[in-house]
């Protein structure tokens, strides 16, 4: 990316330096928030992917990458990180002979799930969602998602829900007319 353009992004969003130094930044872009973002899950390599890259990465010019997603307020302070949800272990059952202990497990949450776990006051404070694609050997790519001007995140989500409901009603009408 052009160094002048990159430094312009860092001047416009000075809080970017908290997450990634300008020398480590690859590509930076700003986009409007959309419904696809709410379904996004941070991409993290699993054990097999890490093993393959560690074993054959030099042969095939491969490198590990991971994705971090942060919910930010207007000054760029992190309100929450989209990540893994820890689930409690399943309870032991009295009817099982020699019950083995269950371990806790985790699952990855979507951006939408991360937003719903925030209380209403924090949801209103969210102005940006930063998605950072971190490459092991090369630069970090950053996409800053912005809420439309004059809207709160909650208003935008409610508008999206109404649009989807309207689409469903139109589909139902089409089916009924056929």
3-state SS track over 80-131: EEECEEEECCCCCCCCCCCCCCCCCEEEECCHHHHHHHCCHHHHHHCCEEEE
Range of the domain at 117: 3-150
161 within a domain of the structure (yes/no):
no
174 within a domain of the structure (yes/no):
no
155 within a domain of the structure (yes/no):
no
Q: What is the largest CA-CA distance in the chain?
A: 68
- Whether 113 shows a pLDDT value over 80: the answer reads yes
* 52-100 pLDDT, tens digit each: 656 665 555 555 677 889 999 999 999 988 886 655 555 555 555 555 5
Number of domains in the chain: 1
* 3-31 pLDDT, tens digit each: 888 899 999 999 999 988 888 888 899 99
165 within a domain of the structure (yes/no):
no
166 within a domain of the structure (yes/no):
no
Which residues neighbour 130 within 8 Å (Cβ) at sequence distance 6 or greater?
Answer: 19, 69, 70, 72, 142, 143, 144, 145
């Amino acid at each position: 990316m052009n160094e002048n353009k990159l430094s312009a992004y860092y001047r416009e969003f000075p809080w970017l330096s908290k997450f990634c130094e300008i020398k480590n930044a690859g590509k930076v872009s700003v986009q409007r928030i959309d419904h696809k973002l709410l379904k996004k899950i941070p991409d993290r390599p699993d054990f097999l992917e890490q093993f393959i890259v560690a074993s054959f990465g030099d042969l095939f010019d491969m490198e590990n990458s991971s994705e971090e997603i942060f919910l930010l307020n207007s000054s760029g302070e992190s309100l929450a990180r989209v990540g893994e949800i820890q689930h409690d272990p399943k309870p032991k059952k009295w009817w099982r002979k020699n019950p083995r202990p269950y371990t806790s497990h985790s699952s990855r949450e979507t951006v939408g799930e991360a937003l719903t776990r925030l209380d209403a006051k924090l949801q209103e404070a969210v102005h940006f969602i930063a998605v950072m694609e971190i490459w092991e050997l090369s630069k970090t790519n950053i996409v800053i998602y912005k809420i439309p001007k004059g809207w709160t995140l909650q208003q935008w989500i409610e508008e999206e829900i109404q649009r989807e409901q309207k689409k469903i009603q139109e589909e139902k009408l089409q089916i009924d007319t056929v």
